[in-house]
């Protein structure tokens, strides 16, 4: 029986099967996007003003992406057949969406999916009415597929450039506000490129052309330029100085709101660098990292807030800061002791519990007289430098930047030392590390404590920045965010943590209207990363080699093993 | 005088007696071999000596001091280091880093030293790297310090593992089947290399081996384990002709032809 089924199946060509399968997947994805309410939510932002909304761009990305995947999966070389595959994928995907719209006319889907409203169908049919709109939608699907096939058919060098051009147009449209604020002085330029809502059509075309040209130029000359930069010391150091100047000027350029975003990125970066020591260097999975952030914030808060009887012990934030960091350091050590013998999953579970215990203690009535319970800690002192009080986001930016530079310096120095090697050895093989004379107790505790103290520093700044802290600020999601950003950035890689913090903390802050979908995107980003780039965006050098280099075949193993006496 | 002594050592796992009343006496500057069929308890003996298992009875003495109850890292610092039957390198670290980890107990830099790097720390680090390079050269990996350990060919991984153990500056080196998975040529190279360790570096070597040929070629003294008990002890020639050993390896009632093959391969 199975053979007969196999022969019947083989009447359908393999490429068509692939096209239908992936088309269905794409269709399911767009239907989910629609039912999740993303179409309505993202309709408020335009990529190209009044022409392409963010929601439509999202659908286009899915159509293009699935068609492209199908093209690669089909392993065909004939362009005409590829075109058919891609168009089929686009049509099938959009047909599923049309089916949803039609189904919505017959059944009231709103009972189950609250977002399945007439407004949704209106948006999906481009407000053209049911029949015309459905046809346009199908055409869009088919054309997107064809576009994917054409992009694929371009010579490799051009293909890359065109993809970069599209990504650039999308990114510029998405980050319009940031860009307009940054280059606000250059009104003639921003006026040319942007409308009040998104890019202008000529702007989009200009950007596309510029980026295609830039990428093409880079692919021709990039290697040469890069080696030129690497070789000449003055060029490198001037780049470094330029980078530092930009970092110092950023809040002045970006203004209040984006400085606030940068502050949050920086606070998460501090935590990321700390957790990176524990998870990335030493290989100890800690899911309760928020505890140390909380301990740093609460220690400084309680010591400087007038809310409590023992207030004004410390009259300056700077005096309280070391206590916050030391408290976190000690807490890291105390957490470390009971989990010394634990590995992997068990360690993760215990640390998870620890994080929750700290939050519940902060919330408890039992400790209310000392740390405020649900009312939290209020009127926390702000740092002062001489007569200047650090109070607004741009001022905090400099404090946080200094913290990040300090912590990154420590992390880099420690990584490349006897202690850093001991951590890595422990991560690779704990038993062997011990057999080589590494004291696991002190080595593990040092990882926990140093990582925790970075978190404590972050918390100390966080508390004084907000002046009030509440137990809810220190929930499990903070731990998850920090862990996600180091996974996405690249475990054990310090530049990776920076990139991860910008991508996972900075971007969502800039796209406030997407906040409902923040965790959906986190999840999606993690899954996609694990499937396509498990080593992270900016991997640590060795991890990269580990995951992508072919394993050498131990050539003699096979023959010798058989020759061994049994 | 003896460097390491095992006195009536017993190791049980639940009801199973893995090692029973084992006495070993390993003099300094010898190559001492422990042989025995699969499951005889050889690796268990290693795990007891290095502190990963705690024996239920008896004692283990290094220069007369008991090692029982010490943690593996303390025992490593006292001068006993081992290699593993299935190579256990830090495979995602470079060969140089592997050796540097071996040097760990002999370096003193703490976290503050690592951060501030005063001249003393820089000097220590430079010396450590120089020593690691010397060791790489000694084991035949000169100039390959930047390779990831996992990317080395099999035989070189074995040598790197020994190099890492040497970085620990052991007085007693435990080698667990160092020629496992090697062809005859590589086995011969390894045998010669082990002899160099003793002759040039003066390290006492305790060797677990499966291949009779290796053991007979280099060891001064051999003990044979079977079912956790020592069934014979002596020079290679004595062991080779011991009827009990032949029985343990080949089973009771083996034909004369099989026995003669055995003694011949052993020689």
HEC letters along A262-294: HHHHHHHHHHHHHHHHHHHHCCCCCCCCHHHHH
DSSP helix/strand/coil, A387: coil
Whether B81 contacts chain A with CB within 8 A:
yes
Q: Which two tokens stand for residue A259?
A: 């400085």
User: Does residue A545 belong to the interface with chain B, where contact is any CB pair within 8 Å?
Assistant: yes
Nearest Cβ partner for A556 among B50, B93, B155? B155
Put simply, the answer to whether B81 touches A414 (Cβ < 8 Å) is no
Mutate to test the interface with A, among B49, B92, B177, B186 (most CBs of A within 10 A): B92
Q: Which of A96-100, A231-235, B136-140 has the lowest mean pLDDT?
A: A231-235
Residue position matching structure tokens 């505790």: A445
What stretches of B210-253 adopt beta strand conformation (E)?
221-226, 229-234
Answer whether residue A374 shows pLDDT above 80.
Answer: yes
State yes or no: pLDDT of A550 exceeds 50: no
Question: What's the rounded Cα separation, in Å, for the pair A194 and A181?
Answer: 12
Q: B70-80: per-residue pLDDT in tens?
A: 999 999 999 99
> From the CA atom positions of chain B, what is the Rg in Å?
20
Whether residue B109 and residue A418 make contact (CB cut-off 8 A), yes or no, is yes
- DSSP, residue by residue, B82-118: E--SS----TTSBHHHHHHHHHGGG----HHHHHH--
Supply the pLDDT for residue A230: 61
Interchain contact, A419 vs B110, CB within 8 Å:
yes
User: Residue A486 and residue A497: Cα distance in Å, rounded?
Assistant: 5
Q: Please determine, for residue A553, whether its predicted confidence score (pLDDT) is greater than 50.
A: no
Domain with CATH 1.10.3470 in chain A: 241-544
d(CA B215, CA B195): 11
Label residue A562 by pLDDT band (50, 70, 90). Answer: very low
CATH superfamily for domain B1-26+50-78? P-loop containing nucleotide triphosphate hydrolases (3.40.50.300)
What average pLDDT is seen over chain A?
A: 87
pLDDT at res. A551: 41
Whether residues B111 and A431 touch (CB distance < 8 A) is answered with: no
Q: What is the pLDDT of residues B239-256, one digit of tens each?
A: 888 888 888 776 665 566
Q: Which residue of B has its CA nearest to A425?
A: B90
Percent of chain B with pLDDT over 90: 74
DSSP state of A377: B
**Nearest by CB to B182, which of A419, A429, A560?**
A560
Q: Identify the band that residue A519 occupies on the pLDDT scale cut at 50, 70 and 90.
A: confident
- Which residues on neighbouring strands pair with residue B2, listed in sequence order? B27
A98: left (phi over 0), alpha (psi -120 to 50) or beta: alpha
Contact of A446 with chain B, judged by CB distance below 8 Å, is answered with: yes
**Exposed e or buried b for every residue in A316-338, given b needs 16+ CB within 10 A?**
ebeebbebbbebbbebbbebbee
For residue A300, how many C-alpha atoms fall within 13 Å in the half-sphere facing its CB?
Answer: 35
Judged by DSSP in three states, A445 sits in: helix
Tokens representing B169?
């500056």
- Interchain contact A414–B (C-beta under 8 A): yes
What is the least distance, in Å, from the CA of B27 to any CA of chain A?
23
Tokens 């971007």 belong to residue: A507
Phi and psi based region of residue A297 (left: phi greater than 0; alpha: psi -120 to 50; beta: remaining) = alpha
CA–CA separation, A279 and A287 (whole Å)? 10
Question: Is residue A555 very low, low, confident or very high in pLDDT (cuts 50, 70, 90)?
Answer: very low
Q: Which chain B residues have a beta carbon less than 8 Å from that of A545?
A: 92, 148, 151
Chain A residues closer than 8 Å to B265 by CB: 565
CA–CA dist A501, A487 (Å, integer): 10
Is-contact B72 B254, C-beta < 8 A?
Answer: no
DSSP state at residue A437 = T
Taking 60 as the threshold, does the pLDDT of residue B193 lie above it? yes
Chosen from A333, A433, A435, A561 to mutate, greatest number of chain B CBs within 10 A: A435
Q: Which residue of B has its CA nearest to A437?
A: B73
Beta strands in A317-401 (DSSP E): 384-385, 388-389
What is the reported pLDDT for B260?
65
Using DSSP's 3-state secondary structure scheme, residue A12 falls into coil
C-alpha distances in Å from residue A272, one per residue of A260, A355, A470, A473: 18, 16, 22, 17
Q: Can you say how many angstroms the Cα of residue B5 is from the centroid of all Cα atoms in its chain?
A: 16
Q: Does A333 touch chain B (CB under 8 A)?
A: no
CA B191/CA B204 separation, integer angstroms:
15
What is the C-alpha to C-alpha distance for residues B197 and A503, in angstroms, rounded to an integer?
53
User: What pLDDT score was predicted for residue A353?
Assistant: 94
Residues in chain A with CB shorter than 8 Å from the CB of B153 are: 552, 554-555
End-to-end Cα separation, chain A, in angstroms: 45
The domain locations on chain B are: 1-26+50-78
* Per-residue pLDDT reduced to its tens digit, A217-256: 888 776 777 676 666 677 778 888 999 999 999 898 888 8
- Residue A545 pLDDT class (50, 70, 90 cuts): low
Chain A environment of B151 (Cβ under 8 Å): 545, 549, 552
Using the predicted structure, report yes or no on whether residue A161 has a pLDDT greater than 50: yes
Residue B160: what pLDDT?
96
Question: Looking at the predicted structure, is the pLDDT value of residue A188 above 90?
Answer: no
pLDDT band at B262 (very low <50, low <70, confident <90, very high): low
Question: Using CB atoms and an 8 Å cut-off, which of residues 58-77 of chain B contact chain A?
Answer: 71-73, 76-77
Distance of CA A230 to the CA centre of its chain: 29
Contacts with A, B 121-180, CB within 8 Å: 125, 148, 150-155, 157, 164, 168, 180
Please report how the helices A130-153 and A79-106 are oriented relative to each other, as an axis angle in degrees rounded to 10: 160
State the pLDDT at residue A438. 97
- Of A79, A98, A180, A80, nearest to A137 by C-alpha is A98
Please give the C-alpha separations between residue A164 and each of A69, A207, A256, B37, B224, in angstroms, as whole numbers: 17, 11, 31, 64, 69
User: Which residues of chain A have a CB within 8 Å of the CB of B182?
Assistant: 556, 560
Q: Inform me whether the pLDDT recorded for A556 exceeds 50.
A: no
A439: nearest CA in chain B? B73
Q: Find the residue in A nearest to B212 (Cα).
A: A565
Asked if B114's CB is within 8 angstroms of A420's CB, the reply is: yes
Q: Which residues of A touch B148 (CB under 8 A)?
A: 542, 545-546, 549
Report the residue of chain A nearest B166, measured CA to CA. A436
Distance from CA of A292 to the nearest CA of B (A): 20
Q: Is A420 exposed, middle or buried (0-12, 13-18, 19+ CB in 10 A)?
A: buried
Residue of A188 and A493 predicted with greater confidence: A493
Q: How confident is the model at residue A566 (pLDDT cuts 50, 70, 90)?
A: very low
Note the pLDDT of residue A231: 62
Q: What is the pLDDT of residues A430-439, one digit of tens each?
A: 999 999 999 9
Q: How far is A435 from chain B (nearest CA, A)?
A: 5
User: Is A557 in contact with B265 (Cβ distance < 8 A)?
Assistant: no
Query: Nearest C-alpha of chain B: how many angstroms from A176?
Result: 42
Of A422, A428, A433, the CB nearest to B92: A428
Structure tokens at B224: 């044979």
Written as six digits, the tokens of A408 are 């990154």
What SS3 state is found at B139? coil
Residues 201-220 of B with CB under 8 A from A: 210-212
Q: How do residues B26-84 score in pLDDT, each as one tens digit?
A: 999 999 999 988 888 999 999 999 999 999 999 999 999 999 999 999 999 999 999 99
- Out of B105, B186, B210, closest to residue A437 by CB: B105
Residues A342-363: what's their mean pLDDT? 92
Selection from B174, B140, B170 nearest residue B157 by Cα: B140
The conformational region for residue A184 under phi > 0 = left, psi -120 to 50 = alpha, else beta, is alpha
Would you state the structure tokens that stand for residue B70, as one six-digit string? Answer: 């010490």
**Does the pLDDT of residue A10 top 60, yes or no?**
no
Beta strands B204-209 and B31-35 are parallel
For residue B173, what are the β-bridge partners?
B81, B205
Architecture of domain A241-544: Orthogonal Bundle (1.10)
Question: What is the percentage of chain A residues whose pLDDT exceeds 70?
Answer: 91
């Amino acid at each position: 029986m199975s053979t007969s089924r196999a022969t019947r199946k083989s009447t359908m060509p393999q490429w068509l099967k692939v096209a239908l399968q992936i088309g269905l997947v794409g269709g399911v994805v767009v239907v989910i996007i629609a039912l999740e309410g993303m179409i309505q939510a993202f309709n408020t932002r335009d990529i190209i003003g009044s022409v392409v909304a963010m929601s439509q761009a999202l659908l286009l990305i899915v159509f293009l992406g699935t068609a492209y995947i199908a093209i690669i999966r089909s392993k065909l070389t004939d362009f005409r057949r590829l075109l058919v595959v891609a168009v089929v994928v686009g049509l099938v995907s959009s047909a599923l969406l049309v089916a949803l719209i039609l189904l919505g006319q017959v059944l009231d889907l709103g009972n189950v999916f609250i977002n399945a409203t007439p407004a949704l169908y209106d948006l999906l049919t481009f407000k053209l009415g049911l029949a015309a709109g459905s046809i346009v939608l199908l055409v869009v699907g088919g054309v997107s597929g064809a576009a994917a096939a054409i992009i694929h058919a371009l010579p490799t060098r051009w293909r890359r450039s065109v993809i970069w051009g599209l990504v650039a147009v999308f990114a510029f449209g998405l980050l319009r506000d940031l860009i307009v604020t940054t280059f606000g002085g250059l009104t003639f330029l921003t006026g040319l490129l942007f409308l009040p809502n998104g890019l202008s059509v000529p702007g989009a075309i200009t950007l596309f052309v510029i980026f295609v040209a830039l990428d093409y130029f880079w692919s021709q000359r990039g290697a040469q330029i890069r080696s030129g930069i690497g070789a000449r010391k003055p060029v490198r150091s001037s780049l470094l100085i330029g980078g530092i100047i930009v970092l110092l000027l950023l809040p002045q350029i970006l203004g209040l709101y984006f400085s606030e975003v940068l502050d949050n990125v920086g606070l998460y970066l501090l935590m990321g660098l700390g957790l990176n020591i524990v998870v990335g260097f030493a290989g100890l999975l800690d899911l309760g990292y928020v505890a140390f952030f909380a301990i740093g914030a609460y220690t400084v808060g309680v010591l400087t807030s007038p809310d409590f009887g023992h207030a004004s012990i410390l009259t300056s934030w700077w005096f309280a800061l070391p206590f916050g960091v030391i408290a976190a350091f000690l807490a890291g050590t105390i957490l470390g002791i009971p989990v010394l013998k634990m590995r992997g999953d068990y360690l993760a579970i215990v640390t998870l519990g620890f994080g929750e215990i700290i939050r519940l203690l902060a919330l408890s009535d039992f400790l209310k007289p000392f740390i405020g319970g649900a009312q939290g800690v209020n009127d926390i002192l702000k740092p002062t430098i001489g007569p200047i009080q650090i109070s607004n986001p741009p001022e905090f930016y400099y404090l946080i930047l200094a913290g990040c530079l300090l912590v990154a310096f420590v992390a880099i120095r420690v990584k490349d030392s006897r202690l850093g090697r001991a951590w890595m050895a422990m991560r690779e093989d704990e038993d062997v590390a011990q057999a080589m004379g590494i004291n696991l107790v002190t080595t593990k505790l040092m990882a926990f404590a140093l990582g925790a103290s970075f978190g404590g520093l972050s918390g100390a700044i966080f508390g004084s920045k907000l002046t009030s802290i509440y137990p809810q600020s220190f929930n499990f999601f903070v731990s998850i965010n920090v862990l996600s950003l180091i996974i996405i950035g690249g475990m054990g890689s310090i530049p990776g943590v920076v990139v991860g913090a910008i991508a996972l903390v900075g971007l969502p802050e800039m796209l406030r209207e997407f906040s409902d979908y923040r965790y959906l995107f986190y999840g999606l980003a993690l899954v996609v990363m694990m499937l396509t780039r498990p080593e992270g965006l900016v991997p640590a050098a060795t991890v990269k080699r580990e995951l992508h280099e072919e394993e050498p075949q131990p050539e003699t193993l096979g023959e010798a093993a058989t020759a061994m006496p049994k | 005088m003896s460097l390491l002594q095992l006195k009536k050592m017993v190791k049980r796992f639940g009801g199973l007696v893995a090692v029973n009343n084992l006495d070993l006496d390993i003099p300094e500057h010898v190559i001492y071999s422990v042989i025995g069929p699969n499951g005889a308890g050889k690796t268990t003996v290693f795990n007891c000596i290095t502190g990963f298992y705690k024996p239920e009875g008896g004692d283990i003495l290094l220069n007369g001091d008991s090692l029982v109850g010490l943690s593996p890292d303390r025992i490593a610092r006292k001068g006993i280091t081992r290699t593993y039957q299935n190579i256990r390198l830090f495979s995602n670290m470079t060969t140089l880093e592997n050796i540097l980890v071996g040097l760990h107990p002999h370096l003193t830099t703490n976290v503050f030293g690592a951060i501030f790097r005063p001249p003393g720390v820089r000097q220590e680090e430079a010396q450590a790297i120089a020593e690691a390079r010397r060791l790489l050269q000694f084991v035949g990996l000169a100039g390959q310090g930047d390779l990831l350990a996992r990317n080395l060919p099999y035989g070189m991984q074995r040598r790197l593992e020994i190099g890492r153990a040497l970085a620990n500056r052991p007085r007693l080196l435990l080698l667990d089947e160092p020629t496992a998975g090697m062809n005859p040529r590589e086995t011969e190279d390894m045998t010669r290399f082990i002899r160099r360790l003793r002759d040039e570096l003066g390290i006492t070597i305790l060797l677990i081996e499966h291949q009779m040929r290796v053991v007979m070629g280099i060891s001064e003294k051999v003990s044979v384990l079977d079912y956790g008990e020592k069934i014979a002890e002596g020079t290679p020639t004595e062991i080779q002709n011991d009827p009990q050993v032949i029985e343990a390896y080949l089973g009771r009632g083996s034909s004369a032809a099989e026995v003669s093959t055995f003694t011949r391969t052993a020689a």
